Each structure stands twice: as C-alpha cells, then as structure tokens.
Amino acid sequence: MITPGDRLGVAVSGGADSIALLRLLVEIRERLGISLVVLHFDHQLRPDSASDARFVEKLARTFQIPFIESSGDVKAAATRHKWNLEDAARRLRYQFFAKVIEQGRVTRVAVAHTMDDQAETVLARILRGAGPAGLAAIYPVAGHIIRPLLGIRRAALRKYLDDLGQSWREDATNRDTSRQRARIREHLLPLLERDFSPRAVEHLANLARLSAEEGRFWDALIEDRFAVSAHRRPSGVAIAVEALLTPLPLVSEHHALRSVTERLIRRLYQEMRGDRLQLTSSHIEQVIRLATLSSSGRRLELPGGVRVTRNFGELVFSRDKAAPPRRARSKTERGTVGYRYVVKLKDRGTTDVSVPELGTRFRLKVIDWPQRARETTLRSVLDAGRLSNPLILRSWHPGDGYCPLGRRKRRKLKEMLRSARVAAGERSLWPVLESGGQVVWAKGMVPAADCSVGDETCAGLLIEERNL
C-alpha cells in the first residue's frame, strides 16, 4: 500500500476511525519513510461541521503535519444529480482526493474504512441483490486510494484511542436509522453477532476478500478471451458467434461456458458504452438468443445506445453516435495493485530492485560499452549516459508510449503489448522504466530510440530479471 518516499494524504473526518488512522501513521511514518498530509472535507450537512474542521486542523498542527481542507454542498449536489445523500457525500469527497493527487500535493490517500465497514457493505450489497462481483465490496487498494484498517475492528480502534487519551468527534448522522447503512450498523449486525455468530463481521469481511480474489481471476480470464476473440471494425467490435458461445474450446461443461459467455457479453457492451451499469441479465439473455436463434441481419437495441447486429457468423457491437460513451471506470478502482519504485543508478555496478507485486527482482547493471555489446540483446540495454537519474520502475499506465528504436513515430505501449501477444490480464502490472518523466523501456520491447545504445555509447545499462 505504501512505499518509501510517499507523501501520504490521510483523510480525517474527526471521527474515531480516521483519528485512529492518523495516530497510527504518525507512530510509524519514520519507519515507513513517508511524510503525511491531513485532508479534511466538510460535507456541510450539520451546523457544527465547521468545528470538526478546526478540531482536525488543531490535531494536524500538534503533529506538525500540513493540513488541506475543502467543502461542498452535498445536499445541493444530491438534489441536482438525483443521488442519495450518502452517495453524493462520497462522490464529492473522492473528487477532492482526486484533485489533491492530480495537483501532486500527495501521492496516495489513506481512508479509514474498517472491518465493520466492510461487513456492513457486504450486507447492504446482499440485500440489494448483488452478484459475486458486488460482494467484493470495499477494496484494500483502489487506484491511489488505500485502506490500511480494513482488517481491524472498530472497537479495537476506540480502545487504542482511549489508551492514548485521544478524543474524537461523534457524527450524530451515523446513527440516523432512517438510512439503511445505519440500520445495518445499529440493528442487523448486532443481531447476527448476538443470535447467530459472534464472528459474523469477520466472516462477512472474509467473504468480501474471497469475492475480490475470484473477481480478479474472472477479470483476467475475460480480458484474455476478449483480446483473442474480439476484432475491431470501423463500426464497432465484432466477435464470432462460435467464439462467444464456446469461449473455452477445451471445456465441455455447459454451465462453465455459459458463465464465460455472459461475462464476455458484458465486456463487449462495456467496450462500446464505457461501463456496464445499465446492462441486466435480461439483456444478456437477449444477446445469447440473437447468437443462437436469429438469422443474419437481425439486430438488438441495448441500453445506452448500444446495438448488436447478427452479421452471418458474427455479432457486431456498435454504438449510436447520438449516444456518447460514458467514461470508462479505471480498472484500478476494482483493486488492481500498481507499483512505483525510485531507482538511483550507480556510475558503475549493480542496483537491485525487488518488485513483490510481480515476484521479481530487476537487476540494473551499468557496464562498459561496446566491449560487451555482442554478449547481450539490445532489448534489455539502454545508453546509461542518456538517462536522467533517478529512474522510476513502475507498472504500465494507460496512455504510456514512446518512439521505439527503428521507428519514426511514437507507439502506444498498449499496441506494442498487443502485438507481442501479451495477455490483457497481464498488462496492468507490466514493468516499464521511466527517465526524466518519459517511458524509455518496457519489458520485452525494443527500447526508446533516444536512449538506445549506439556508436557513441560509453556505458550501457543492462536490465535483467530474476525470481525473488
């Protein structure tokens, strides 16, 4: 969740959970090698909300931590967009976090969701009729948002604060049982713990963890099937009917194939629409009937202006130009864990960088050139003299690209990975090397032209990869 050098924003409302998060991070910040910034967002839902901000600001000043605050009219936003109050508050709060990250004032934001919050969310999703993906509930890591307390009970945090003699602010709206979340917290969960299982919260949190793991597997599988089976056309995305209905040729179990087919339809719809929020199981059933029973030329209208047309042995997913696509959700919101490591090269010798996320150690070795030029492949060598120290070894980001050696124009890394037949499920963590803010190398790819070795190279940077 946290790497040395991070400037970590800590979301502090003034409640017990967020105050405990701040106090814990204050205790270990030096050991982690990070600096802290306190972030506070005033939802303007209570007359005394401004006093919460002053309470948090005073605490930040006590520990000599920078304080950044913002506010928003949550009621007005909820009315304007027809959101419920809780959803509106969350949206405005996370917009504030995103803005602070975008401005470079923090690198990540830690929020104080606990195991109890996870259990409450799982129950709310069950009551709403969510499937396995929805039961994953709150992710420990979602883009730049981290949740270090997700495995800790709320009561343990309050005991920690009591032992410190640390006060906090109570938000009366958290006990307003006109809201479903408060009813779950005040009535349903205590009932489950008292009358059914004292470990109900722990079991529900574990269900979320297992659902998230299963979701990552399905995401990787469907992305792989999409990359292999879907073909882009000027009008949209096409897939052979056989590839849709039999997405795993070696699997003969009908029900297993049906699960993959349904998810693949959702992925095709998402490619056109940008999300899959309006697509229901009834719509998916209609697409399957179009594939199995209809003749060429028949078509189906889906929500959001997406059209599916049967064209002989293919289904073509296209979009009505009058219906602009919604902005696609970043995969990191589903919990994909990225990484970023600062690498300070030596003038000569070896620098090792361990990447636990990949189970890999990269060895960056500065060697004389051209004496050893024939002993290695140019795909893994850069001109050390053309690089700007320090380097950044990180995971691939959408939009990454560079001009490879032998090319005249910049290529997107996504296209290079696709050409190299790198499975879609592997791309999110694909390692790249950044110099001076520009990508100059990606694993297995030809390096950037302006950092490649040449006749004038005196020192080469050799990149090797080994298992941890």
pLDDT tens, 206-243?
999 999 999 889 888 999 999 889 988 777 899 999 99
- Mean pLDDT of all residues in 442-465: 85
Whether residue 252 is predicted with pLDDT greater than 70 in this model: the reply is: no
Name the strand (E) or helix (H) holding 115: helix 115-128
Residues 190/387, Cβ–Cβ less than 8 Å:
no
Whether residue 106 is predicted with pLDDT greater than 70 in this model: the reply is: yes
pLDDT tens, 183-213?
999 999 999 999 999 999 999 999 999 999 9
Superfamily classification of domain 7-209: HUPs (3.40.50.620)
The domain limits of the chain are: 7-209, 234-319, 338-467
- Greatest mean pLDDT among 11-15, 324-328, 334-338, 462-466 lies in 11-15
Q: What Rg, from alpha-carbon coordinates, does the chain have?
A: 26
Q: What's the CA angle centered on 183, arms 177 and 189, to 5 degrees? A: 150
- Mean pLDDT of all residues in 26-44: 94
Based on the number of CB atoms within 10 Å of its own CB, is 456 exposed (0-12), middle (13-18) or buried (19 or more)? exposed
CB-based contacts of 123, cutoff 8 Å, min separation 6: 184, 188, 189, 204
Give pLDDT, residue 468: 60
Strand order across the 360-368 sheet: 349-355, 360-368, 459-467, 381-383
CA dist list (Å): 133 to 121, 214, 237, 336, 348? 13, 8, 25, 14, 49
Whether residue 172 is predicted with pLDDT greater than 80 in this model: the reply is: no
Give pLDDT, residue 131: 79
CATH node for 338-467? 3.50.40.10
Helix (H, G, I), strand (E, B) or coil at 365: strand
CATH node for 234-319? 3.30.465.60
Query: For residue 185, what are its two tokens?
Result: 């917290």
Helix (H, G, I), strand (E, B) or coil at 205: helix
Query: For residue 221, what are its two tokens?
Result: 């599988």
Phi/psi of residue 313, each to 5°? -90, 15
Task: List b or e across 54-77, with b for residues whose CB sees 16 or more CB atoms inside 10 angstroms.
Answer: ebbbebbeeeebebbbbebebeeb
Give alpha helix (H) positions in 281-410. Answer: 281-293
Whether residue 101 is predicted with pLDDT greater than 70 in this model: the reply is: yes
CB count, 10 Å around CB of 37? 18
pLDDT tens, 337-389?
578 888 888 777 888 888 877 778 888 888 887 654 444 455 678 888 888 88
Q: Is the pTM of this model over 0.85?
A: no
pLDDT tens, 107-147?
999 999 999 999 999 999 999 888 788 899 999 998 889 99
* Percentage of the chain modeled with pLDDT above 90: 41
pLDDT tens, 317-340?
998 765 554 544 433 333 345 788
Using pLDDT thresholds of 50, 70 and 90, give the confidence band for residue 253.
Answer: low
Residues 290/310, Cβ–Cβ less than 8 Å:
yes
Helices (H) and strands (E) in the chain, counts: 15, 21
CB-based contacts of 84, cutoff 8 Å, min separation 6: 78
Fold match, 7-209 / 234-319: no
Phi/psi of residue 279, each to 5°? -85, 125
> 396 versus 21: which is more confidently predicted?
21
* Percentage of the chain modeled with pLDDT above 70: 92
